[in-house]
Structure 1
């Protein structure tokens, strides 16, 4: 299955990479990928003015130069990654917006495809990671329509749930294949065309040994977390742990995406801003424990976070609250039901001997050795090849 064309409607390329970006970075080694940035999952508000202006500036100015320059493994007849920052109406659920976007996006996507001569023998996959991309179905001469449900959009923050649900319902009916990032998400869709596709991991990168960066905390006991700092974190639990272990530095790396965040009032809780995904290993490889302090809600019960397999690849002890996705790795992860258990698990993780740490690291990495992004891509292409016969 070489040199298929992939037209991908996902989030904005270059923002914190999603599973779709990771997958397509692998796909481009053998296939031609055209990426269309997000057209939005909610109606814009006055407070979104800055983001709207940013999106408008991106129109037709998207670039993948950095990625293309650093990717030297393209098949001989594959072209570089192409990106479209589209002009579209961010109004999910609106029939008028649907018709306008069908015209706008079809025109822009066809112009993108026209940059390279088309080989009719190469099947074309329309990969939709966002339900709002459904407006181009049947307009781009695609052979397969794939819906990749990486999140439960009915529970996701920052989404017009009712309107996006309308879009998703219609997309599900039209999709040939559906991939879902977790069992909980997969249960929402027809069994006959839905397949669970858990997130993968860049095993080589996240098992690297790195020196401490200059801004790493000056502490011998660091418990770390990276990712969005928002309402899906259990702030009461975090402050409980910080009070119980004042000798430990709790490091949080990521964008603060919430109005009030009380945890940084504590002397032993520190913050570093969002950084390139590739840089995270410099910190995570050096801290003593990786932390996943999630709340228990519908969104978390449906999630399958990227950091879960990355933490396991890093090999440091992982301490987590309990939710479905983490249970598959219960042999290697310290999982807690409540605050007191979380403290006990953390204390245990911090007192492992060097021999125990080595054994845990080997066991953790073994659990994800078959979960690379390359393995996920192979599963996808194998299944889609059968569908095209």
Structure 2
């Protein structure tokens, strides 16, 4: 990492730094400590508090907030003020929003003394910002099929912005085979690089000295567990079917519930336990008590082109894994259960409970070590340094 050391990085992210750590935070936190990193959180829109009241306090912050991470002194977070809604439906609105965002990014860069940074973006809409922000290299890390999201978007507009963005990039990474096939002709240099796990952290779930949290210890066994944000791409009907098929089991979901997601019917089942968000530092003590880890995505275009991050974290625990059939997990068919239908998913849970062995647990942990964030970031840095002068 010699060439990248000491350089400035501006990361325009699609997710806040806290509370859920995803690919963005894992990558930025592993760049050299000598790099000064400005992590730009996504602005909410003026309508956001109407959908999620928890965002009301942020809606009232009009000046933007720049703060330094206390445990990573080279990383600064910028929380921009609100923007106009409908930026993913109407290109002129996105252009206005990006110019507004640009004012705050430039101000933060001046305060930090950042010039000619590596500009690292995660959103197609950033295309209307990048030309106005001086940079040494433009990097796009494409982690989802953004045009397939539900909500206030126009698929054609999002795809148009993404195609333009990729055409301007020096380097593009994509997380899933479907993304690579769909977009490989849009970029000069594009690499397939799936998600990974913080292996050292999540392997603590298998360590004898990791305590089992009392919240899980008190539940009837077996425990069927899910960890992650509960958004509209999670198949709640499949989880409910599983809970009803195993009434003696405890179905545990750990993670925040997204705005507009109705978990009422699932939560009403007597053996379902929605625990809400838990700090990432304590997750191994929860997952230690899982008998089976569940990967219950809905099958659609979005999930067909996703690399399920939680799947790699499950592997690192060594626990049995049951997943719906999606491209991102098929290479692991020898050590997990993959189900193409709801009926197969329910049956696969039973097999996972009955047929798991210490040997298969060890195989999962060994596979996880091949898919660590350290190795992913090393690959990214190598490709970046090939282009640096």
Q: What runs of 5+ residues in structure 2 fail to find an aligned partner?
A: none
Alignment of 1:66-81 (within 5 A): 68-69=70-71, 71=72, 80-81=74-75
Q: Secondary structure at the match of 1:154?
A: helix
Answer whether contact 1:127 1:147 (CA < 8 A) is retained. yes
Aligned partner of 2:375 in structure 1 is: 375
Alignment of 1:1-389 (within 5 A): 1=3, 2-10=5-13, 11-39=15-43, 44=47, 47-48=50-51, 50=53, 51=55, 53-57=57-61, 59-65=63-69, 68-69=70-71, 71=72, 80-87=74-81, 89-90=83-84, 91-92=86-87, 94=90, 96-117=92-113, 124-162=117-155, 163-191=157-185, 192-208=188-204, 209=207, 210-216=210-216, 217-257=218-258, 258-259=261-262, 261-352=264-355, 356=357, 358-389=358-389
Q: Secondary structure at the match of 2:247?
A: coil
Deviations 1:302-328 (A, max 9, x none): 111110100000111001111110101
Separation in 2, partners of 1:315, 1:62: 39
Answer whether contact 1:126 1:146 (CA < 8 A) is retained. yes
**Gap change, CA 1:222 and 1:241, over 3 Å in 2:** same
CA drift at 1:262: 1.2
Separation in 2, partners of 1:365, 1:185: 27
Answer whether contact 1:318 1:334 (CA < 8 A) is retained. yes
Please identify, of 83-92 and 316-325, the stretch whose mean Cα deviation from structure 2 is larger.
83-92
CA drift at 1:129: 0.5
Deviations 1:211-241 (A, max 9, x none): 1223224223111011222432333332332
Please identify, of 126-135 and 100-109, the stretch whose mean Cα deviation from structure 2 is larger.
100-109
CA drift at 1:350: 1.1
Answer whether contact 1:146 1:175 (CA < 8 A) is retained. yes
Separation in 2, partners of 1:180, 1:325: 12
TM, length-normalised to structure 2: 0.87
Answer whether contact 1:153 1:161 (CA < 8 A) is retained. no
Counting matched residue pairs gives 372
Separation in 1, partners of 2:113, 2:257: 44
Separation in 1, partners of 2:201, 2:48: 39
Separation in 1, partners of 2:196, 2:68: 22
Q: What runs of 5+ residues in structure 1 fail to find an aligned partner?
A: 72-78
